[in-house]
Amino acid sequence: MKKVIVITGGSSGIGLAIAQQLVEKGYLIYSLSREKPSDDRLKFIACNVAERDSVYFALTTVIDEVGKIDGIINSAGIGISGAVEREPAEDIERILDVNLLGTINVCACALPFLRETKGFIINISSIAADFPLPFQALYTATKAGVKEFSLALRNEMRPLGVRVSCLMPGDVKTNFTKNRTKAEPEHDEIYGERNKRSVMRMEQDETNGMSAHEIAAATCKVIEKKNMPATFTVGAKYKLFRFLKRIVPESLFLKILYNMYAK
């Protein structure tokens, strides 16, 4: 029987690209998202990852239909930007619910099934987890949470045969940029200009970023490895950034980020 992989956020961007490449390699793919993916080769179960019941229902439906889950890829995610004190409380809750709680919900509900198959989890964090971006503090916090959660879970599951890995993409050209919720009140004399400059710079990088297909190809290679890395990124530039982060003193590192994204 085909290997069964469940991808959250398989309706768009990175999740859709991974789903399509895996289908072409002969995997059976379920997308858990709110919208149906445009590609009919993907099985679809409507799911809001922020709601535990919705996730539980979706995963047990997969088990009822095909009897097993060999892998989970958590790609569902949203972005927000703005000064922390300008972010509406409901936007803060929403991003924590989707990006962090959503990832936790899916992992927690899937683990009993993954223990059966000795399967794997790939959680999609972001390079922002290593490069805390001003005016994206909430997004950064969720993605750092996803990374550390994944590392802790990796060791928790090690003796039980479930492999856990965390993908930390850099800038990728997807709908993510246009879907970002922005807290940019009019006439903000304190943060307005710095916020706009920072977000504009970051969004330029995203629109000139890598294709979701490149990210998907690298992810497919990791899936087929026996020993998955604890974390991985794609592209020489981002690998170099992560290396430099490890060797540069923290105060200097933060000053560089300040000059790039907060002046």
Ligand X SMILES: NC(=O)c1ccc[n+]([C@@H]2O[C@H](COP(=O)([O-])OP(=O)(O)OC[C@H]3O[C@@H](n4cnc5c(N)ncnc54)[C@H](OP(=O)(O)O)[C@@H]3O)[C@@H](O)[C@H]2O)c1
Measured at the CA of 205, the angle between CA 203 and CA 208, to 5 degrees, comes to 110
Applying CB under 6 A, which of residues 4, 5, 12, 113 lies at the interface with ligand X? Answer: 12
- State yes or no: residue 206 binds ligand X (CB under 6 A): yes
Stated as kind and residue range, the H or E segment containing 210 is strand 210-211
- State yes or no: residue 45 binds ligand X (CB under 6 A): no
Which one, 45 or 111, has the nearer CB to ligand X? 45
From residue 21 to residue 40, what is the string marking binding to ligand X with x (rule CB under 6 A)? Answer: ------------xxx-----
Structural contact between residues 133 and 125, judged by C-beta atoms closer than 8 angstroms? no
CA–CA separation, 213 vs 15, rounded Å?
Answer: 10
- State yes or no: residue 81 binds ligand X (CB under 6 A): no
Stretch that binds ligand X, among 74-82, 158-166, 183-191, 254-262 (CB under 6 A): 74-82
Please work out the total of residues on this chain that contact ligand X, with binding judged by CB under 6 A: 30
CA–CA separation, 48 vs 15, rounded Å?
Answer: 15
Structural contact between residues 191 and 86, judged by C-beta atoms closer than 8 angstroms? yes
**How many other CB atoms are there within 10 angstroms of residue 149's CB atom?**
18
CA–CA separation, 215 vs 202, rounded Å?
Answer: 19
Buried b (16+ CB within 10 A) or exposed e, 94-131: bbbbbbbbbbbbbbebbbebbeebebbbbbbbbbbbbb
Taking the complex as a whole, how short is the minimal distance between the CB of residue 217 and ligand X, in angstroms?
15
- State yes or no: residue 124 binds ligand X (CB under 6 A): yes
CA–CA separation, 193 vs 37, rounded Å?
Answer: 38
Which one, 8 or 21, has the nearer CB to ligand X? 8
Stretch that binds ligand X, among 73-81, 150-158, 184-192, 245-253 (CB under 6 A): 73-81
Which one, 9 or 235, has the nearer CB to ligand X? 9
- State yes or no: residue 130 binds ligand X (CB under 6 A): no
**How many other CB atoms are there within 10 angstroms of residue 252's CB atom?**
9
- State yes or no: residue 171 binds ligand X (CB under 6 A): yes
The answer to whether residue 11 is catalytic is yes
Taking the complex as a whole, how short is the minimal distance between the CB of residue 136 and ligand X, in angstroms?
11
The answer to whether residue 143 is catalytic is yes
Residues 89-108 touching ligand X, rule: CB under 6 A, are 98
Cross-strand pairs, 166: 123, 231
Taking the complex as a whole, how short is the minimal distance between the CB of residue 251 and ligand X, in angstroms?
26
- State yes or no: residue 145 binds ligand X (CB under 6 A): no
Buried b (16+ CB within 10 A) or exposed e, 32-64: bbeeebeeeebbbbebbbbebebbbebbeebee
Catalytic, out of 126, 143, 191, 238 = 143
- The residues annotated with a catalytic role in the active site are 11, 125, 139, 143
Interface residues with ligand X (CB under 6 A) are 8-9, 11-15, 33-35, 47-50, 75-78, 98, 124, 126, 169, 171-172, 174-176, 179, 206, 209
